[in-house]
Amino acid sequence: MIDRYTLSTHKEVLEKHFSAAFKDEFIPRYNAAPTQDLPVITQDNTAHFQYFKWGLISNWANNKKMSPKLFNLDTETLSKKASHQKSLKSHRCLIPIDGFYVWKPFAKKKAIPYFISRKDKKPLAIAGIWEEKDDFNEESNHTFIMITQHSDKRMTPYQENMPLCLGEKEIISWMNAGTTALEIEEIIKVTHLWPLTAHPVSPLIANLEKDSPSLIKHSQPSDQHGNYTLFQ
């Protein structure tokens, strides 16, 4: 499960890297989480970043107020589940991030938080899909979900899954309305072996009220309760 990420790269760098402009104010995020408004780029508007809520409302829920928020969707489920095929065809998006947090288990019911990012510090383009639905107040809302894949050899020591990171070639195809279903199937099978870096961080990332640069700083390994450990 990926439920936290960061986006703190300078606005100008993001605009140049993704060839898209911010129309709204850009605020660096060090603890982005589901239900928050976060920037994405949709395939029908590749020239601008738009702010959508992270987390789709389940189609099968009769009561929207009781509907769970879906914020991750693994590639295997994505290719098999009919309810997501419309979004996969015409509502694809990119989720720009600097890095993401994972919880590495080391004992029964204990885990250490880590921050994962590219060694070259370049932003990552994560594959996503978006929808427009009524929210809990019956108002129209744009939401998105992050697509994940099974972890490769770099990530398996930390977690079973990781975000579906797209390379330049895949970004062009992912955002192209003319890309076929078979081509999409090939895209979601790709794993990019960029050099990644990982270091332990503060368990304060679990607190949604915390959102500052200190969260991504290297910290002495400690579990989710703040207890220091010699395990890494």
* pLDDT at residue 58 in the model: 57
pTM of this structure: 0.89
Question: In the predicted model, what is the mean pLDDT of the chain?
Answer: 86
> CA nearest 127: which of 82, 75, 81?
75
Residue 42 has pLDDT above 90, yes or no: yes
Beta bridge partners of 185: none
Q: What is the pLDDT of residue 154?
A: 79
Domain 5-197 has CATH 3.90.1680.10: yes
Domains of the chain, residue spans: 5-197
* Residue 80 pLDDT class (50, 70, 90 cuts): confident
The radius of gyration computed from the CA coordinates of the chain, to the nearest angstrom, equals 17
Tokens of 226: 């703040």
Least confident range of 3-12, 18-27, 138-147, 221-230: 221-230
Closest CA to 84 of 125, 127, 124, 41: 127
Contacts of 192 (CB under 8 A, 6+ apart): 165, 166, 167
* Strands of the sheet with 29-32, listed across from one edge: 29-32, 5-7, 99-107, 110-118, 196-200
Identify which has the larger pLDDT, 33 or 221.
33
